[in-house]
Structure 1
Amino acid sequence: MHEPAPRHPHGAVAADYLFATTVTLAAFALTFVADRYLSIANLSLILLTGVLAVAVRKRMAVAVYTAVLCFLGYNFFFTRPRYTLAIANGDDVLAIVLFLIVALVCSRMATRLSDQVTSLRTAQQRARTLLQLGRELATAAGATAIREVGARALTKAVGATAHINPAEEASAVDRNDDPGCGWLVPLTVGAHGHGTVVFATRGPDEPDAERRELALAMSQDIALALERARLAHELEQARVQGETERLRNALLSSVSHDLRSPLASMIGAADTLAMYETQLPRAERQELLQSIVHEGQRLDRYIQNLLDMTRLGHGTLKLHRDWIDATEVVVTATDRLRRFFPGLSMQTALPQETVLLYVHPALIEQALFNVLENAAHFSPPGEAVRVEAAVTGEQLQIEVIDHGPGIPPDERARIFDMFHSVSRGDRGNNGTGLGLSICRGMIGAHGGNVEALATAGGGTTIRITLPLPPAPESNA
């Protein structure tokens, strides 16, 4: 479609011709002064310079106007007979005609050069505008932010207030005969529509061809950014859906095994007691009762882990912080572990001085217990599980060291995922795959972190790092 030629306000046109007239008068003033010292042929060069001065700054029509003025003035004031438009000498006719031709050609060439420079500047400005828009779109997060950035950039570049309506609002705008909607640009990429750019006119004049072309290019970039945001959103939804499905399957698998196993043991032991209570020796009855208690406690820990994981996942875990000695946390967790693993050998290396933590004591103890229980499951018979606590800078590091089979380097980060099922980690024969994941969540809620490292000589070291706050001020 043919674009209309750029329109020039009457005030700008008058200013152009006034500028040309002023330059012409100045050139004639210099020519009158030089008339005493130069030949008539050289005087034409002064006037030709004036024509070029106008041609490089103004439009072709203004340059022609200047050339005609200089031609007539040169003929009237400087060729014989002077002060008439008649020409007595045939050589002067040729000189004047050549002057006019040279003036017109030079003005044409100068105008074309000026137009090329202007076009280059316009192209440079357009490229700069598109580059800046691209940078802003790259940092915009989400479709809403992209629309805000795009509308702001379009308003600045086009000079008319721009609004970007989402796709669900675009059809309503298209059907609306609002006179403020002077220009609509659809944002489409392939078969996907991302809304419409609405330019509100500020007066009777619409954007010129150059600004329209720039607006269309910017709108295309905005549409591509919205398309990328749409694809990223769909990919994220697919990832979340896949992750949810994976966790659901893992949860079903875990529940089917980790709930049924202790329940089956408890039911079997209780059934044996019910049927053969009077026939069984006292030692065997005690053993069956201990089995019921042990499996019941195991089932209780598993259900507690599920509840803790649910609270961590939904952000409802509340931190009731209090000051507690780090040594007390370690001692409580190790004493609790010994009740479930009475034959386990344990070693501790704790700070001599008091190290205060401002934490939720029960959660930190539970996190440490989960790590200790994981180490106990995989520690070989006769090998001790070692717990070391030390202050490093403004942090407390607690390391649980075992000499079990160890963890491959590419699996060390994954053992903290829920229901992670490899040969190593808390998803072993007696694990649920939740303990270390809960540990990471609980420690992370306190601003700390958990990592798995290799133990020298074989095995695994789980390092818990907690920030140390400033010690509480004494009220004494």
Structure 2
Amino acid sequence: MQNNLNPPAPRWHSPWPWLTWLVGWALMLALDRHLDLANLAMLLMLTSVVASLWLPGGISAAASAAGVMVFNWAFVPPRFTFTVELHQHTLLLLAMLVANWIISGLMIRQRQLADAARQVAEREARLRSWGDTLRDAADPAAHASALHAALAEATQAPVAVSVLRGLGAQPEDDSTLHVGNANDEQRAGLALCIRDGRAMGSGTGRYDELPDGYLPLRGRGVTLGAALVCDMATLRHGPELRPHLQALCDQMGSALHRSLITAQAQRSREQAQLQATRNALLAAISHDYRTPLATIMGAASALHDQADKLDADQRRRLAGGIVEEAERLSRLTDNTLQLARLDAPSVQLRCDWESAEEIVGAVLRRARRRPDGARVKAWVEPDMPLLWCDPMLVSQLLDNLLDNALKYSPNGSPVELQVRRQGGEALLSVCDHGPGIAPAWRERVFEVFQRGDETRRSPSVEARREGAGVGLAVCRAIARAHGGELRLQARAHGGSCFECALPLRELQPTPPEEGPP
């Protein structure tokens, strides 16, 4: 929307009506000896009608009267006088004058109707364009300058706009957005208009003595701003224009209200979802903590109370159970804390250049301490570039994937951990030879508290205690926090393969240290 504050030039400044009269008189003078007086009179009437297309009413009527008088002086006998010899000539002149006035009046009326229709079309187009702009706006308040331009274009007068930045905000708040110039008295009027939610100023029935007009930006039952139109009382089409201006302001108010309500609803949904996740997480943790804690307490109690009655193998089994359950609790705690941390907005990773061989080596050493850890086979592609990552998080990702693979694959079957380069990514994969995961579950297993389809578990897999269902959710969150992705690939001969693709970055050279001068 363009802001054009220069009023259009008056119609009578156009050269076309005067050029029309000049051409008409030239034709009448040229045809004087060839046409009779009645035909010349018709030519005069045609000239007057065409000129009235541009001239305003008073000037057109005066030009028609002057044209009849000049026609009497130049063409009606006796010529070059204002005397009329025949009564029919007098009637002709009077008829010409009245007909000119009537036809000019009709032409002027049609022009006024055309102007009014054009103004209505322009206002409708402005409202439609303004509505399209607000419909696609993520933050309608950012379009306050566009509303300012639309009001200025419609009124051709100085305007100002004040927009509140939230529900319950006050006009005096520092967050209130102001566009346009307004003095202290006008700012006080804008604040009063926002509080009352009603139009003020000339012609509104409220503070009619004010020269300016104040229009509220109304939403559903709330006012979220106001617009000022300076010298509203002096506008040419002020009364007819006010509903159009109010419609522009109401569109802005409705868009602001809708945006704020949507943002508030989104925050409420996020809070409800976060609270539901916390409740479910606490319920799952409280349930899954009971079994390992009971095992630890039972084994520790037996060692404490009956140590002298137990042989070495029994004591070793009890101590091994304590270690295994303590490690399980540690993994569950780490996964829970990392899930809560990675779900927080603007999480900061502790990234550095790390060697894939060192990360895999540390993960492999921890896996080999498990009773079935010998099944894990690791391979790292030679000349693998350094990874820009948080080593603790990537290690936790691989620990979780190996834990799942060892838990849900048959005893004695190998579990492969591989790291290789694929295009511009480092591909970290953990593959097993278990029963696999049904296609319907290949995305759901990455959701919190999902443990997969138990009907596809192989009978040869030893019954193992379940976790809280947060391990794979944490793995995907870690991959995405690094700008990567975790995917599940089905294997042709049975089993599953979890692949974590991490983007490779170019190693930046370390700037040389400045030596002593």
State if a TM-score over 0.5 links the two structures.
yes
Aligned partners of 1:457 and 1:40: how far apart in 2? Answer: 110
- 2:263 matched to which residue of 1? 233
Could you say what secondary structure the match of 1:369 adopts? helix
- 1:65 matched to which residue of 2? 62
Q: Which amino acid is the alignment partner of residue 291 of structure 2?
A: S
Q: Which amino acid is the alignment partner of residue 193 of structure 1?
A: V
Per-residue deviation, 1:395: 1.4
- 2:504 matched to which residue of 1? 468
Could you say what secondary structure the match of 2:483 adopts? coil
Partner deviation per Cα, 1:183-220 (whole Å, 9 max, x = no partner): 22233344x21324231416862462454232122122
1:393 to 393, 415, 423: 423
Per-residue deviation, 1:268: 1.0
Shift in CA distance, 81/189, structure 1 to aligned 2, threshold 3 Å: same
Q: Assess if the C-alpha contact under 8 Å between 1:181 and 1:198 holds in 2.
A: no
Per-residue deviation, 1:265: 1.1
Q: Assess if the C-alpha contact under 8 Å between 1:152 and 1:162 holds in 2.
A: no
Which one is further off, 254-263 or 306-315?
306-315
Per-residue deviation, 1:279: 0.8
Aligned partners of 1:421 and 1:148: how far apart in 2? Answer: 53
Per-residue deviation, 1:266: 0.8
- 1:53 matched to which residue of 2? 50
Which one is further off, 236-245 or 279-288?
236-245
* 1:412 matches 2:442: yes
Per-residue deviation, 1:286: 0.9
- 1:352 matched to which residue of 2? 382
Could you say what secondary structure the match of 1:163 adopts? strand
Could you say what secondary structure the match of 1:67 adopts? helix
Q: Assess if the C-alpha contact under 8 Å between 1:188 and 1:194 holds in 2.
A: yes
- 1:282 matched to which residue of 2? 312
Shift in CA distance, 222/276, structure 1 to aligned 2, threshold 3 Å: same
Could you say what secondary structure the match of 2:428 adopts? strand
1:455 to 483, 491, 496: 491
Q: Which amino acid is the alignment partner of residue 443 of structure 1?
A: A
Per-residue deviation, 1:256: 0.9
Q: Which amino acid is the alignment partner of residue 453 of structure 1?
A: Q
Which one is further off, 378-387 or 216-225?
378-387
- 2:293 matched to which residue of 1? 263
Aligned partners of 2:212 and 2:494: how far apart in 1? Answer: 75
Which one is further off, 218-227 or 45-54?
45-54
2:254 to 194, 199, 224: 224
1:160 to 158, 161, 167: 158
Q: Assess if the C-alpha contact under 8 Å between 1:334 and 1:372 holds in 2.
A: no
Residues matched between the structures, number: 463
Aligned partners of 2:170 and 2:474: how far apart in 1? Answer: 45
Partner deviation per Cα, 1:16-68 (whole Å, 9 max, x = no partner): 69986775466435533443454433333443343233322233343333322
Q: Which amino acid is the alignment partner of residue 159 of structure 2?
A: T
- 2:478 matched to which residue of 1? 442
Could you say what secondary structure the match of 1:56 adopts? coil
Aligned partners of 1:102 and 1:75: how far apart in 2? Answer: 16
1:194 to 193, 203, 223: 223
- 1:6 matched to which residue of 2? none
Which one is further off, 279-288 or 80-89?
80-89
Aligned partners of 2:431 and 2:141: how far apart in 1? Answer: 50
Q: Assess if the C-alpha contact under 8 Å between 1:351 and 1:389 holds in 2.
A: yes
- 1:79 matched to which residue of 2? 76
- 1:297 matched to which residue of 2? 327
Q: Which amino acid is the alignment partner of residue 192 of structure 2?
A: V
Aligned partners of 2:210 and 2:364: how far apart in 1? Answer: 74
Aligned partners of 1:409 and 1:358: how far apart in 2? Answer: 33
Give the TM-score, by structure 1 length.
Answer: 0.83
Q: Which amino acid is the alignment partner of residue 305 of structure 1?
A: N
Which one is further off, 304-313 or 202-211?
202-211
Shift in CA distance, 199/280, structure 1 to aligned 2, threshold 3 Å: same
Q: Which amino acid is the alignment partner of residue 169 of structure 1?
A: Q
1:430 to 466, 469, 472: 466
Q: Assess if the C-alpha contact under 8 Å between 2:410 and 2:433 holds in 1.
A: yes
Shift in CA distance, 403/31, structure 1 to aligned 2, threshold 3 Å: farther
% identity of equivalent residues: 27
Q: Which amino acid is the alignment partner of residue 472 of structure 2?
A: L
Could you say what secondary structure the match of 2:369 adopts? helix
Aligned partners of 2:421 and 2:505: how far apart in 1? Answer: 12
Structure 1: tracts of 5 or more residues without a match:
1-8
Shift in CA distance, 437/77, structure 1 to aligned 2, threshold 3 Å: same
Aligned partners of 2:14 and 2:431: how far apart in 1? Answer: 91
Partner deviation per Cα, 1:147-182 (whole Å, 9 max, x = no partner): 554345434443332313436436942379999992
Give the TM-score, by structure 2 length.
Answer: 0.77
* 1:125 matches 2:122: yes
Could you say what secondary structure the match of 1:262 adopts? helix
- 2:409 matched to which residue of 1? 379
* 1:306 matches 2:304: no
Partner deviation per Cα, 1:79-131 (whole Å, 9 max, x = no partner): 22334444334543454344334433432343244234323432332233223
Aligned partners of 1:98 and 1:457: how far apart in 2? Answer: 107
Q: Assess if the C-alpha contact under 8 Å between 2:352 and 2:388 holds in 1.
A: yes
Aligned partners of 1:99 and 1:133: how far apart in 2? Answer: 50
Q: Assess if the C-alpha contact under 8 Å between 1:54 and 1:66 holds in 2.
A: no
Per-residue deviation, 1:458: 4.2
Matches within 5 A, 1:77-156: 77-142=74-139, 144-145=141-142, 147=144, 149-156=146-153
2:32 to 30, 35, 39: 35
Per-residue deviation, 1:283: 0.5
